[in-house]
Amino acid sequence: MRSVFRCFCELSRLVHQSLYMLHSPDRPITSKRLLDIYTRYLTWYDTIPEVLRLGHNFTPAVLFIQ
């Protein structure tokens, strides 16, 4: 259960960074910054546990454990 929470926290942080990058008035979006955030998403997905990965049109059962 802790690993699920940790994965969602890391994903939330990535989403926050992405939104901040898109809506930040001080720094324009560059291809390097966009590629960097995309690479972070891929790295995040590679590190999550197998049970959290999406398969063939189903929601992982671990999300409903409470």
Name the residue ranges covered by the structural domains of the chain. 2-50+59-64
The structure tokens 């994965």 sit at 7
pLDDT (0 to 100) of residue 8: 87
Cβ atoms of 33 and 17 closer than 8 Å: no
Whole-angstrom Cα distance, residue 13 to residue 6? 11
Q: What single-letter amino acid sits at 25?
A: P
* Average pLDDT over the chain, rounded to an integer: 81
Q: Which stretches of the chain drop beneath a pLDDT of 50?
A: 56-57
In this prediction, residue 12 carries a pLDDT of: 93
Q: What is the structure's pLDDT at 55?
A: 62
